[in-house]
Amino acid sequence: MIDRAHGYFRKGKETMSKRKREAYLIERLSEILRYGYRYSKAIQARFDAAGVKPEMIETLKNLEKLPITKKSDLVNSQKHTPPFGGFEVVPKQGMRRIYMSPGPVFEPGEWPYRDTRWAQALYACGIRKGDIVLNTFNYHLTPLAMMLDESLRMLGATVIPVGPGNISMQINLMRQLQVTGYLGTPSFLMSIIEAAEGMRLEPKKDLHLRASFVGAEMFPESLRQKMEGKLDIPIRQAYGTVDVGCLGYECPEKKGMHISEDVVVEIVDTETGRQLETGATGEIVATNFSKVFPMIRFATGDLSYLIEETCPCGRTSMRLGRILGRTDQVTKVWGIFIHPWQVDDVMAKFPEVANYQIVVTRKEYRDQMIMYVELKESIADQIGLKRKVEREIEEVLKVKGQAEFVQRGGIPDRAKKIDDRRIWE
Ligand SMILES: [Zn+2]
């Protein structure tokens, strides 16, 4: 039997002491800052505008002196200086691959591919040498599928580069080739399970999966439990972006996502760019060590927090907590910030609720907040429930709001959790 629950991809690195880890990070950080400043026109211009030289960044805290790079900065600089905005450090002739991600953002692919962060993530999720792996991420134009493909090669696994779609073909492939590993979004895995059941197959027995790696989407714990139950295997997730690569991955303990040694991840105050203390919620900002397309303090737009306690798996890195939402989904009501994840926290306490949405409007210069609630089935004491929901809203969100019940299906499927309908004149 293969041991999928223990071991490390890079033991020496993954179990470094705190002191050693910090020294290693600072060394790699100074190296990439000097390299980026020397070879990338955009990085040099941004450092100069902030009056900072690479030598001035001697600690991780010093990173605060450097400006944050937003996705919109990347898009705008690429418009002015096509195709890569001056962030690239090599000419486009001779590049092995050029990717295009939504934005649009052009990215040169690293070649030869040496980044081991996704490989660490795949190993921690239980994929091993000898596995036959179905890679259902999209190979078309964006880099994730290809990065994972290269990383599976580092592990000694065999890849089926199938991409998404055509579920019955996927199921046939899985059965014919005795596929042991799945890579893709959680929702696509759920679709495969449902389709297999529709074909009167028993996923646990008729599919041969032993490890599953999911990403690129929110992965609620309820969905994990459902799928792990149906497949009887561990399903682990990782988090990253196409611009900065893998930023965190789950280990068998699934208590947060380990941050690889080969990237600097900060949690910052979105407005000031200042680093927040461990445990506080803020925006995930990352600096990677790519020698082709280095990203310095790239703002992901995603919210999370850091976990410092040691993990029983033996990896000594800090971990990212759950992804709590996007920075741009935050809404201010009566001057208080409300995040979509807080709305989830309020409603998690009411199992009788099927769907919900907050709508913010403005009447005579005053904010009004209504929580629309769909029930799974009608209940006798609606007024009692309305009061409980309103009390919970005030308790968690610190803002008064009304609860109103709507018919089943009254809230559209893909509705925003907080719909801000205020018009500012
Ligand atoms: Zn761990």
Residue pLDDT, tens place only, 232-288? 999 999 999 999 999 999 999 999 999 999 999 999 998 899 999 999 999 999 999
Ligand 1 centroid from CA 251, angstroms: 5
Share of the chain above pLDDT 90, in %: 81
User: Residue 191 above 90 pLDDT?
Assistant: yes
Pure H helices in 199-291? 203-206, 221-231
- Where residue 222 falls among pLDDT bands split at 50, 70, 90? confident
What distance in Å separates the CA atoms of residue 307 and residue 344, rounded to the nearest whole number?
21
**124 C-alpha vs ligand 1 centroid, how far in Å?**
8
Q: What is the DSSP string of 108-166?
A: EPPSS----HHHHHHHHTT--TT-EEEE-S--SSSSHHHHHHHHHHHHT-EEE---S--
Q: Give the Å distance between the CA of 116 and the centre of ligand 1.
A: 17
> What's the 315 CA to ligand 1 centre distance in angstroms?
5
pLDDT for residue 425: 56
Amino acid at position 70, single letter: K
* 249 alpha carbon – ligand 1 mean position (Å): 9
CA 295 to ligand 1 center in whole angstroms = 26
Quick one: which of 98, 39, 105, 37 has its CA closest to 71? 105
Query: Span 330-420: which CATH code?
Result: 3.30.300.30
- For the stretch 118-135, pLDDT in tens is 999 999 999 999 999 999
CA–CA gap between residue 316 and residue 339 (Å, rounded): 31
pLDDT of amino acid 365? 77
Q: Residue 272: its pLDDT value, please?
A: 92
What are the tokens at 172?
């046939």
Mean pLDDT of 19-33: 97
Omega cis (within 30) before 164:
no
